[in-house]
Amino acid sequence: MKVLFVVPGWSSSNLWGQMKFKFPPLSVLTLAASTPEEVEVYIADENLEKIDFENEADLIGITVMTPQAVRAYEIADQFRGKGKKVVLGGFHVSHLPEEALNHADAVVIGEGDRIWKEVIKGFQESKLKKIYKDDKLVSLSEIKTPKRDLIKGKGYLFTNTIQTTRGCPFDCEFCSVSSFFGRSYRTRPIPLVIEELTRLRQESVFLFLVDDNLVGNRPYAKTLFQEMASLQFKWASHAPQSFVNDEELLELASKSGCMALFVGFESLTQENLSLMGKKTNLEISPIEAVKKFHDHGIGLLASFILGYDHDTPDTFEKILDFCHQAKIDGGLFPILTPYPGTLLRERLKKEGRILTDQWDLYDMEHVTFNPRGMSPEKLQEGFEWLNSSFLSWGSIFRRLFKMNRSLQIFGPMNFGFHKAWKKRIRPKINCPETSLII
């Protein structure tokens, strides 16, 4: 038996579709490791290669995030048209399984690590069920080591990625992570992590921990950083702004090789932070937080969500001014997006503010709802202006003109984002629900 896992590609009109720097699909590699050994497994990542629809695989598994849902369904339909059995899974499918079943023979709701073997067995016995769901969260001690041999020669510039925890203890209303995992937060046994890290260290000194919140369990994080120190990685991950409130943890992270963190500042407005449930960001001023990270040699990829209820047309300039004042190393400025399953979507739906369910517009670069403090057109214009301004050469030199060990990461990152933004094509897409051009 042969299984082909497919990762749908980003649109070329999206910033991520233009980025040359691609991360390997760790979730798919982990699922591949859960596949019975007698089954041959292949991976096709459309972000790097064309999909061969004449592939001899018996079963096609497709992972689906909301922005790629339309493309995923197209791929599924084409494979089914050739008589292949298709299984869909991922965040989008888990929240909208009935929709996904219009394009699949079976769907997996939630985590697939443990239940995937049942899917394989069902296919082999010609008893494939429509819906597979694991009613219990998977213990991370059960997680298999990703089958990284499947991506050798694929063209990824960077393959050292690892997951040490799953979930997030917070419950931000916009976040798909909380809606998928609930407020559970699980840790992987540190000996298993260090064993895998030791092997990865032979490949590269650079490492990316893909955890959504690396320090959700601070005693665990402190032990992890202490154990990692001897491996001398240069690593990056995700962490909340409140990370800086724990000086010991921050120092341990720095000594273990932390050079860059993705941090969700989300907003400079207290009312927005309270509304979105990001109350921990109120515990310290953002400018002080940036300074503390920088003082420990940690650069920041800061995220600010655009379009929350207390944002106004002058929000974009305020964010840019802050980024220059604080010398933010890198930035992302996503448009607020009401993803399926989130508390945000429930609220906006009740308020009658959702403009479209055209999923390929849910890429954080299109306005899909009615903002309170400005028109949809103003929000779209502000998004375009802020990104163009932040990624201009003048802004890049202004922000990075400082001596910091993280420059070796953020120099190439800013260059890559600048180039991708310039190449990005923004077609005008008509929303039939509102006749709004966004």
Q: Directed axis angle between helix 218-228 and helix 247-255, to 10°?
A: 30
pLDDT tens-place string over residues 121-144: 999 999 999 999 998 889 999 999
How confident is residue 428, by pLDDT bands cut at 50, 70 and 90?
A: very low
pLDDT at 227: 97
pLDDT at 435: 34
How confident is residue 403, by pLDDT bands cut at 50, 70 and 90?
A: low
pLDDT of 343 > 80? The answer is: yes
Phi/psi at 256 (nearest 5 deg)? -85, -5
For the residues 384-396, what does the mean pLDDT come to? 97
Say how many residues make up the chain.
Answer: 438
Closest CA to 38 of 89, 1, 68: 1
Strand partners, 236: 208, 260
pLDDT at 433: 39
Comparing 44-48, 395-399, 403-407, the range with the smallest average pLDDT is 403-407
pLDDT at 425: 63
pLDDT at 432: 34
Comparing 62-66, 111-115, 274-278, 401-405, the range with the smallest average pLDDT is 401-405
pTM here?
Answer: 0.92
2-133: which CATH architecture? 3-Layer(aba) Sandwich (3.40)
pLDDT of 386 > 80? The answer is: yes
**Domain layout of the chain by residue ranges:** 2-133, 160-423
pLDDT at 438: 31
Any idea which fold 160-423 has? pyruvate-formate lyase- activating enzyme (3.80.30)
Cβ-Cβ contacts under 8 Å for 214 (sequence gap 6 or more): 164, 165, 221, 237, 238, 239
Our measurement of the distance from residue 76's CA atom to the centroid of its chain's CA atoms, rounded to an integer in Å, reads: 23
Residue predicted with more confidence, 159 or 61: 61
Cβ-Cβ contacts under 8 Å for 293 (sequence gap 6 or more): 243, 244, 250, 261, 263, 299, 300
pLDDT of 181 > 90? The answer is: no
pLDDT of 66 > 90? The answer is: yes
pLDDT at 312: 97
pLDDT tens-place string over residues 259-275: 999 999 999 999 999 99
pLDDT at 189: 97
Measuring CA to CA, how many Å separate 202 from each of 198, 208, 209, 231, 247?
7, 15, 16, 10, 31
Average pLDDT taken over every residue of the chain: 92
How confident is residue 284, by pLDDT bands cut at 50, 70 and 90?
A: confident
Comparing 70-84, 102-116, 168-182, 287-301, the range with the smallest average pLDDT is 168-182
For the residues 170-192, what does the mean pLDDT come to? 86
Distance CA 335, CA 367 (A): 7
